[in-house]
Amino acid sequence: MPVNFSPMEQPSPGSRMLFISASIPDPSRWSGSFDALEITNAVVALARACLTRGYGVVTAAHPTIAPLLLYVAAEFPPADRGGRVRVYQSMLFEDVLPAATRRFEADGIGNVIWTEAADGESPEPGEWDGSLRRMREQMLRETEPAAAVFIGGMEGIPAELDLFSSIFPDRPTYAAGRPGGEARDLVTHSPEHLQSRLRESGAYPALWWAVLDDLDGRDG
């Protein structure tokens, strides 16, 4: 039986964006605890909540996350998609962009925005820092997200929180603790009244609805 999702609220001109900083850690490069299924569930629930509530989402093109966001966008009517999902990637990784991400963009689902690579770098750990920094700065300055959410991830997660907070010091950040990864240690950067729920809850649709209620309430 087909599942019917709520329609997206139509975005107003200059619709607000939410920055999603997330990844499934690579055990060969990171030794902390995490649950890949919890990360996936949290990301999918967040994307659905954002798109239903009229937010756009922006993320870096992590191979385990960008296809999930684009998949969720494909659940909604074509007329609603527009530029609501924006995926940024450095030209350094042009040859390794997942085929799924390319297919979604070819079908008109989401936009992939390419940024210039830093000279002399390569798509290898420890050899891409300048390119990633350039991509992250361009992504945040161009989309001006109203808030940032952090799920799972490795060393790039706190780096993106620091960058977001330096560019937008008055804008809120929210981190999910239950899926593990580096984001677990960032819950204390979230609004105090939501920290307990963010740290423990696995009821992600309700959790993200509460987060968006908090964010919407800041306009009052």
Which two three-digit tokens encode residue 121? 């770098």
DSSP 180: B
Residues 96-109 pLDDT 10s: 666 666 666 666 67
**CATH no. for 17-215:** 3.40.50.450
pLDDT in tens, 32-43: 899 999 999 999
- The residue written with tokens 């990844």 in the block is 23
Domain boundaries in the chain?
17-215
| Pairing status of strand 56-60 against strand 85-90 | parallel
pLDDT tens profile 149-182: 999 999 889 999 999 999 999 999 999 999 999 9
